[in-house]
């Protein structure tokens, strides 16, 4: 297998065009996190970013090389998709890729199901919540009402009450207001602090990536800020990434003063309709068992996690961790069953943040 490893800044226009062509033919690979633009964005923020060019452009894999022991998917832990973009059923030898990168293993946590790079090495899976909106707002709303009529009724009731008690609600798509973007990040950081989570978005390389996304606005790839305001005051915000056919929710937060009206849900529902009317085929809410994702989605796309490796002790260690996690997750006590997954995600988060 012919392999070339380069920094994303070395990716030529012809390679990027070929990468996009591979994406366009496979609906499972059209996430903005799997674009060459995302790899280049991460490369602008991290010197350890790499692109593996497989078989002269038959496939591409974006990673970040944390150390000689392990690499992770490009943009981890803030990327919801990782994996190879290339020809269907492209044979990929994980051991050869690791040798080319000079690492013991590659940890993939959100690879679209069925990737040959994880063949025989899948350690688990979870679904990313998807709303198919290609038919436009009216069709999406009709389908939503048919599937979840009580949810629609309650959301509409809260919206009417919100306007009655606080005034006119205004939605805005693809806002360029930096103040609103900064407010959204402040809300999100406060939310993380309350829940005892690390201050992810203040990490220098992540903050740099966020800012570049906010400043990049085009159909091919870019950030998209959506806002909900009441009497010209921001009540909720959602910052998304987009590719030509996918809008991926990234950061969502709201003013706690409006908690009882579910402002984040109100905004997400409006965005889904807007997206359908503006050429977007699907909304990707990402993985995670959040009620609003389940309520607004029409299905799920399965994502797999596993270890890409040859023979290395670091790969053996990671496989042991996955095996232990799988055994404990089968226990009948839910709180105990979820502990290994939480621990592994926390460790991966800290590895990526402090690399």
Within this chain, do residues 274 and 342 fall inside the same structural domain, yes or no? no
Query: For position 255, which CATH number holds?
Result: 3.40.630.30
DSSP conformational letter for 115: -
* Exposure letters 306-327 (e unless 16+ CB within 10 A, then b): bbbbeebebbeebbebbeebee
- Is the same domain home to 138 and 251? yes
Task: Please provide residue 15's backbone torsions phi and psi, each rounded to the nearest 5 degrees.
Answer: -65, -40
Q: What are phi and psi of 341, to 5 degrees?
A: -60, -45
Residue 355: predicted pLDDT: 57
Residue 295 in domain: no
Lowest-pLDDT choice from 30-39, 121-130, 345-354: 345-354
- The mean pLDDT value for 305-309 works out to 92
CA dihedral of 199, 200, 201, 205, whole degrees rounded to 10: 120
Please say if the pLDDT value at position 351 is more than 90.
no
Q: pLDDT-derived band of residue 12, with 50, 70 and 90 as boundaries?
A: very high
3-state secondary structure of 121: coil
Closest CA to 85 of 33, 156, 7: 33
Q: Would you say residue 287 lies in a domain? A: no
Q: Are 239 and 172 in contact (CB under 8 A)?
A: no
Amino acid 197: pLDDT = 82
The helix-helix angle for 313-329 and 339-353 (nearest 10°) equals 140
**Domain identity same for 16 and 117:** yes
Q: How far is CA 325 from CA 38, 119, 182, 344, in A?
A: 30, 19, 38, 9
How many residues does the structure list for the chain?
355
For residues 145 and 274, membership in a common domain is answered with yes
- Tell me which of 192 and 160 has the higher pLDDT: 160
Task: Decide which of 246, 280, 314 is a domain's last residue.
Answer: 280
Q: Write down the mean pLDDT value for the chain.
A: 92
3-state DSSP assignment of residue 38: helix
80 and 24 housed in the same domain: yes
List pLDDT tens digits, range 238-293.
Answer: 999 999 999 999 999 999 999 999 999 999 999 999 999 999 999 999 998 899 99
Which segments of the chain does DSSP mark as H helices, in order? 13-24, 36-45, 94-101, 137-147, 149-166, 178-194, 204-215, 263-277, 291-296, 313-329, 334-337, 339-353
Q: Are 1 and 92 in contact (CB under 8 A)?
A: yes
Share of the chain above pLDDT 90, in %: 78
* Residue 167 shares a structural domain with residue 92: no
For residue 247, being part of any structural domain is answered with yes
Among 280, 310, 345, the domain-final residue is 280
Name the domain count of the chain.
2
DSSP calls for 210-253: HHHHHH---SSSEEEEEEEEETTEEEEEEEEEE-SSEEEEEEEE
Domain at 306, CATH number:
3.40.630
The pair of three-digit structure tokens given for residue 244, joined into one six-digit string: 């030509």
Tell which phi-psi region holds residue 102, choosing left (phi > 0), alpha (psi between -120 and 50) or beta.
Answer: left
Q: What is the pLDDT of residues 192-236, one digit of tens each?
A: 888 888 888 888 999 999 999 999 988 889 999 999 999 999 999
Does 290 reside within a domain? no
Query: With b meaning 16 or more CB within 10 Å and e meaning fewer, what string describes 90-123?
Result: bebbbeebbebbebbbbbbbbbbeebbbbeebbb
Domain that includes residue 152, residue range: 134-280
């Amino acid at each position: 297998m012919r392999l070339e490893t380069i920094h994303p800044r070395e990716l030529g226009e012809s390679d990027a065009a070929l990468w996009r062509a591979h994406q366009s033919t496979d609906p499972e690979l059209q996430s903005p996190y799997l674009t060459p633009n995302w790899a280049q964005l991460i490369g602008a923020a991290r010197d350890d970013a790499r692109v593996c060019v497989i078989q002269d452009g038959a496939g591409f894999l974006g990673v970040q090389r944390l150390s000689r022991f392990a690499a992770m998917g490009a943009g981890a832990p803030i990327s919801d998709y990782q994996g190879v973009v290339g020809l269907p059923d492209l044979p990929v030898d994980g051991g050869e890729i690791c040798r080319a990168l000079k690492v013991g293993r590659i940890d993939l946590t959100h690879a679209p199901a069925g990737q040959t790079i994880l063949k025989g090495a899948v350690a688990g899976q979870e679904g990313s919540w998807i709303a198919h909106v290609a038919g436009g707002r009216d069709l999406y709303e009709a389908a939503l009402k048919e599937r979840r009529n009580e949810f629609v009724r309650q959301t509409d009731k809260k919206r009417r009450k919100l306007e009655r008690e606080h005034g006119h609600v205004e939605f805005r798509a693809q806002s360029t207001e930096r103040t609103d973007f900064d407010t959204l990040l402040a809300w999100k950081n406060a939310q993380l602090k309350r829940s005892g989570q690390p201050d992810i978005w203040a990490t220098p390389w992540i903050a740099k990536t966020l800012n570049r996304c906010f400043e990049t606005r085009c159909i091919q790839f870019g950030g998209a800020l959506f806002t909900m305001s009441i009497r010209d005051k921001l009540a909720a915000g959602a910052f998304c990434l987009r590719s030509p056919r996918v809008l991926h929710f990234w950061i969502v937060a709201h003013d706690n003063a409006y908690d009882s009206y579910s402002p984040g849900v109100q905004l997400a529902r409006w965005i889904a309709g807007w997206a359908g009317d503006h050429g977007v085929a699907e909304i990707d809410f990402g993985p995670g068992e959040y009620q609003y994702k389940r309520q607004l989605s029409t299905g799920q796309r399965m994502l797999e996690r596993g270890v890409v490796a040859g023979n290395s002790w670091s790969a053996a260690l990671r496989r042991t961790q996955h095996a232990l996690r799988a055994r404990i997750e089968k226990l009948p006590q839910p709180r105990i069953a979820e502990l290994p997954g939480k621990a592994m995600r926390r460790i991966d988060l800290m590895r990526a943040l402090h690399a």
